Amino acid sequence: MSAIRIAVLISGSGSNMAAIADHLSERSDVEIGIVVSDRHDVAGLLRAEERGLPTTVVDWKSFPDRETFTAAVCDVVDASRCTFMVLAGFMRILAPTAVERFPGRILNIHPSLLPSFPGAHAVEEALAHGVRVTGVTIHVVDELVDNGPIVAQESVDVFPDDDAASLHARIQTVEHRLYPQVVADFVIGGSEQR
Ligand code: GAR
């Protein structure tokens, strides 16, 4: 049986994409078909190329609105024969048409225990609120931001001397262990149901 192909979408350093790629390189049932970034100067693109993964840029600035950008992203994923989208630090909000085209087949990782601290500054906001525990959430993407059904969560303690960098580093250690396994299990489980 041929491997299930996933698209990984990035906007930053791509450390989660790299962790997923390294995990999948050990198995034959799921593979990364394309790594998509939302602009050219994304460090994760180099990491993907180092691993021999195909990459493409869908430059969000060259689209007039969210709908046309989303359509272009979905077209790239389709053209790469990928059936799942994995958002790995992808910092653009996709239009609801993405969920219509890939219903229940888009995963996102977020650096907090959702529904606490949605949005782009989850680590800073957790520190500012003085929470003692935060964490990692992996969820299915729905029409709303950081909102869909939760697939996995793991807590991370906040220490009194933490700053955003130290806390995020500890959160990322959990992300890199959790996301690859959850992605693989979710994709395999989702494909068996279809
Ligand atoms: C990750 O920590 C991820 O949880 C976060 O961006 C980081 C990307 O790191 N995502 C969000 O904040 C989404 N709202 P990476 O590029 O090294 O994988």
Give the mean pLDDT of 176-194: 88
Q: How confident is the model at residue 152 (pLDDT cuts 50, 70, 90)?
A: very high
Q: For ligand 1, is residue 180 a contact (CB within 6 Å)?
A: no
Q: What is the pLDDT of residues 48-89, one digit of tens each?
A: 999 999 999 999 999 999 999 999 999 999 999 999 999 999
Q: How would DSSP label each residue in the chain?
A: -PPEEEEEEESS--HHHHHHHHHHTT-SSEEEEEEEESSS--HHHHHHHHTT--EEE--GGGSSSHHHHHHHHHHHHHHTT--EEEESS--SPPPTHHHHHSTT-EEEEESS-TTSS-STTHHHHHHHHT-SEEEEEEEE--SSTT-S-EEEEEEEEPPTT--HHHHHHHHHHHHHHHHHHHHHHHHHHHHHH-
Position 160 pLDDT exceeds 70: yes
Q: For ligand 1, is residue 10 a contact (CB within 6 Å)?
A: yes
Q: For ligand 1, is residue 112 a contact (CB within 6 Å)?
A: no
* Residue 17 alpha carbon, nearest atom of ligand 1: 18
pTM comes to 0.97
Q: For ligand 1, is residue 172 a contact (CB within 6 Å)?
A: yes
pLDDT above 90 covers what percent of the chain? Answer: 97
**Measured in angstroms, how far is the CA atom of residue 188 from the centroid of ligand 1?**
23
- Residue 190 has what pLDDT? 78
Q: What is the pLDDT of residues 94-148, one digit of tens each?
A: 999 999 999 999 999 999 999 999 999 999 999 999 999 999 999 999 999 999 9
Position 194 pLDDT exceeds 60: no
The verdict on whether 110 is a catalytic residue reads yes
Position 193 pLDDT exceeds 70: no
* Among candidate residues 70, 88, 95, 81, the one with its CA nearest the CA of residue 34: 81
* Residue 111 alpha carbon, nearest atom of ligand 1: 4
- Residue 191 has what pLDDT? 66
Give the mean pLDDT of 169-185: 98
Q: For ligand 1, is residue 14 a contact (CB within 6 Å)?
A: yes
What residue's CA is closest to ligand 1, atom 17?
A: 15
Position 31 pLDDT exceeds 60: yes
CA angle 52, 54, 59 (to 5 degrees): 135
- Residue 192 has what pLDDT? 67
Q: How confident is the model at residue 24 (pLDDT cuts 50, 70, 90)?
A: very high
